[in-house]
Structure 1
Amino acid sequence: MLGPARFGSPTTGSEVPSASGDAGLRFRPSPAVILLVPVFVSLIVQVPGTIGLSWWQHVPPAAAAASIALAAASALCLLAARWLPGPTVAVVAALTAVDLFVPPVGGPPPIALVFAIIGAVVRGARVWALVSVGVAWLIAVVGPELAPGVFGATDWHPARIAFATVGLALCFVIGEGMRARIRGAQQRRQQLAARRRAAEQEERTRIARELHDVLAHSLSQIAVQSGVGLHLFDREPERAREALANIRALSATGLDEVRGVLAFLRGDELASPDTAPLTPQPQLAQLPSLVAGRSGLGLTVALDDRLAGDAPPSSVQTTAYRIVQEALTNVVRHSAASHATVTVGRDATDLVVTISDDGAGIPSSASERGGLRGMRERAQLAGGVLTVDSGPRGTSVVARLPWAGAA
């Protein structure tokens, strides 16, 4: 219970951080300065003051030397306050109590005890400080009354006792205030670190989502087209040639999009026009080409554009395009559909995008994979919602996105 308690690591010197946090700290003294300044201040106040009073009161040399030694020892004990705050305050309190009964009378203020109490409370040795100071106070006040032969006939003035008691209590208050500020600063740093980790995780998720959107549809189409090309290579060479041409176009487009996404994630488009991404962020105007690229080889994809030339902000268009892109990729990969329809329209303040097909539905094993989860996340980030209705008669994906973008 009364073991030495540490507040922070003695090797890092971070047990007394700034209350405003590291980010806003302009100057922070080194651990050596934090440790040595109380020692020097205590020595400068206590030792010369004791020497001067001893000379002024004509104290015998032996008593004066003892008082000076006690003052210096209490100050030097503060050197251990960083590692042993509890025992330090106990020793300093004992030395200060003894010094009260050694001439000269009314010596300099016990600055070392002030630093020891505050340091012990800040570093978590509150019980050490309370017990040590309480015992020293009782000895100093009650001891002369109970054992005058041991302590001498010392008659403390009530005002002096009251002033010393208030001063000791104030030291504890200051220590608790500093400890509370330190803990608040630590909590703010922890919260900042948690926000940084959350931002990093969000960035990793965004990167994964962008690369998935760019790569999944191209690679899926390439896999389908290559399978068809191999199957028809001998029987229908013209359709096999068409499949190979589609593979070539899809691979070229996919590479350009990957370069564009990587450049966008690196921020190259902000650095120099020469390093701008090869493909801009896709917009709704590119849906016809996307739909045309999905049609063929037994699948017909139609686009029903009901916007009549009206267009939401660019970020909303990109979100809608990526959702359509991923939904059509799922149609190609999972639904075995022969017909799909992409409908784009406006309902009051929402952009409504619907992708429906007449396939066999999305298998349960694929219902919560990255594609559908990514579409939901995109819709949520844009402030909208995405619903999926899949069954044996087909699948319908409906995304409702705020026309003006996320609030």
Structure 2
Amino acid sequence: MTWPDGQGSSRFDDAPPWRRASARARLWFPVVFSLVVQGVGTAVVVRLLGLPAPAAAVAMTVAVVGPLALLGARRHPGPVAAVVALATAVDLLIAPEPGPPPVSLAFAVVFGIVRGARTWVVASIASAWVGVLVLAPALGHEWPPGRIVLSTVALLVLVLVGVSVRERRERAVEFRRLAAQRRQSAEQAERVRIARELHDVLAHSLSQISVQAGVGLHLMDVKPEEARAALASIKSTSKDALDEVRSVLGVLRGDDDVPTSPARGLADVDSLVDGVRRSGIEVSVDVAPDITETVSTTVGAAVYRIVQEALTNVVRHSGAARVEVRARIEGGAVVVSVADDGRGPDGATEGNGILGMRERAALSGGGLTAGAAPSGGFLVSASLPLGATA
């Protein structure tokens, strides 16, 4: 059986007890209520009018057919509406005097329209009502015009109620769909952000560790002091990387016990450069003296991560001997560039590092270019608005 949520019986069977009870109540209430109103009301009318036994039997049968037909309204709303409309028409023709209200017809009309059987419903009640108006005079029943108008208006109101309920449900479904879509988009954006943070931290640190480990192995026997310095650098880099990873994961878990590191910014570029220098690459830094106090924390963090990833790519891929890092303010924006004298672009597809740098620049309302430098080597250049807060 299909229940009020439109799903099959297996979903109903798996539902908690309170929900199963609620579903049963919604299923049986229209049936029981209609039976009570129409069955008891018809019995009273039959008794008051003194109908003969055959007519009374037909009237009572018709009075319960509509309510019982509602049991199938959730699975077959259209045919049920047709059956109830026919039963109501027969009842009106048997006992033309005003009797109990056709409650089952009201439920059938609203249920049918809500569950997408509007054509069935409109065709059924229109045919039944026209049939009553045509056959009633032939059977010698005279209905006052006021009753005809009132009944017609009542049918139209039922149809409008059904349409209104259906539209409200459709809006609710669409709202839930959009909310789920927004939630999914937010979750995806958060996953991308976390992946970008972890990539920037780990790629930079592991690149330095790899280079320093190679230096340590090479110098272990011939220059033990320099090898020891390389190992100390590995230890320091590893500790910094672990602290940053813990901070990122703590934010992801919402763990208040995990200390969060202060946001890295332009003031921390020197520490990045020191690590690259220990890899044997000459690095020059040209940062405008007032830039640290001018840019926001958000922009400073974005610049830091862009420089970090650019330097990581230099260490891993360029084979460069020299790198130049520049940061300055031009026209209301921070312009940062990292240029090396290495082999330049190899024509391969951009990797996650450059993609991550572009995303960071875009999130701050800026842009980033990466490619061959005019004088050879590779150049990464980004421009970020000073007022960015993303």
1:134 is matched with 126
1:8 is matched with 6
**Deviation readout 1:150-206 (Å, 9 max, x if unpaired):** xx2223333333322222222222111111111111111111111111111111111
Of residues 23, 26, 32, the one that matches 1:34 is 26
Gaps of at least 5 residues in structure 2 are 13-18
Q: Say whether 1:360 aligns with 2:343.
A: yes
Q: Aligned equivalents of 2:222 and 2:28: distance in 1?
A: 91
Letter in 2 for 1:369: G
Contact kept? 2:211, 2:279, Cα under 8 Å? no
2:117 is matched with 125
Q: Aligned equivalents of 2:96 and 2:177: distance in 1?
A: 51
Contact kept? 1:50, 1:104, Cα under 8 Å? no
Letter in 2 for 1:361: G
**Deviation readout 1:205-247 (Å, 9 max, x if unpaired):** 1111111011001111222222344344455555444433332
Shift of 1:142: 1.9
Letter in 2 for 1:143: L
Name the count of aligned residue pairs. 379
2:355 is matched with 373
2:15 is matched with none
Contact kept? 1:334, 1:363, Cα under 8 Å? no
Q: Aligned equivalents of 2:42 and 2:199: distance in 1?
A: 78
1:215 is matched with 202
**Deviation readout 1:240-286 (Å, 9 max, x if unpaired):** 44433332322222222222222232233xx24xx313x33212211
Q: Aligned equivalents of 1:393 and 1:239: distance in 2?
A: 32
2:267 is matched with 285
Letter in 1 for 2:351: R
1:192 is matched with 179
- 1:155-234 correspondence runs (5 A): 155-234=142-221
Contact kept? 1:260, 1:280, Cα under 8 Å? no
Q: Say whether 1:58 aligns with 2:40.
A: no
1:321 is matched with 304
Contact kept? 1:64, 1:104, Cα under 8 Å? no
> Highest relative contact order (Cα 8 Å, sep 6+), 1 or 2?
1
- 1:254-293 correspondence runs (5 A): 254-268=241-255, 271-272=256-257, 275-277=258-260, 279-293=261-275
**Deviation readout 1:54-77 (Å, 9 max, x if unpaired):** 333333344334323321221222
1:330 is matched with 313
Q: Aligned equivalents of 1:135 and 1:35: distance in 2?
A: 27
Query: Taking structure 1 as reference, are residues 266 and 281 closer, same or farther at Cα in structure 2, changes over 3 Å only?
Result: farther
Q: Aligned equivalents of 1:107 and 1:36: distance in 2?
A: 23
CA-based RMSD: 2.6
Letter in 2 for 1:214: V
Q: Say whether 1:387 aligns with 2:387.
A: no
TM-score by length of 2: 0.88
Query: Taking structure 1 as reference, are residues 61 and 104 closer, same or farther at Cα in structure 2, changes over 3 Å only?
Result: farther
Q: Aligned equivalents of 2:163 and 2:180: distance in 1?
A: 25
2:76 is matched with 84
Q: Aligned equivalents of 1:55 and 1:241: distance in 2?
A: 109
Query: Taking structure 1 as reference, are residues 378 and 174 closer, same or farther at Cα in structure 2, changes over 3 Å only?
Result: same
Q: Say whether 1:96 aligns with 2:88.
A: yes
Q: Aligned equivalents of 1:103 and 1:64: distance in 2?
A: 9
Query: Taking structure 1 as reference, are residues 254 and 237 closer, same or farther at Cα in structure 2, changes over 3 Å only?
Result: same
Letter in 1 for 2:74: R
Find the residue that maps to 1:364 and give its secondary structure. Answer: coil
- 1:289-300 correspondence runs (5 A): 289-300=271-282
Contact kept? 1:64, 1:103, Cα under 8 Å? no
Q: Aligned equivalents of 2:8 and 2:154: distance in 1?
A: 29
TM-score by length of 1: 0.85
**Deviation readout 1:29-69 (Å, 9 max, x if unpaired):** 93223222322332333223223333333333443343233
Q: Aligned equivalents of 1:242 and 1:190: distance in 2?
A: 58
Q: Aligned equivalents of 2:234 and 2:315: distance in 1?
A: 15
Find the residue that maps to 2:35 and give its secondary structure. Answer: helix
Q: Aligned equivalents of 1:276 and 1:292: distance in 2?
A: 25
Find the residue that maps to 1:281 and give its secondary structure. Answer: coil
Q: Say whether 1:48 aligns with 2:30.
A: no
Find the residue that maps to 2:370 and give its secondary structure. Answer: strand
Shift of 1:323: 0.8
Find the residue that maps to 1:400 and give its secondary structure. Answer: strand
Q: Percent of pairs identical after alignment?
A: 45
Which sits farther off after the overlay, 81-90 or 131-140?
131-140
Q: Aligned equivalents of 1:239 and 1:38: distance in 2?
A: 87
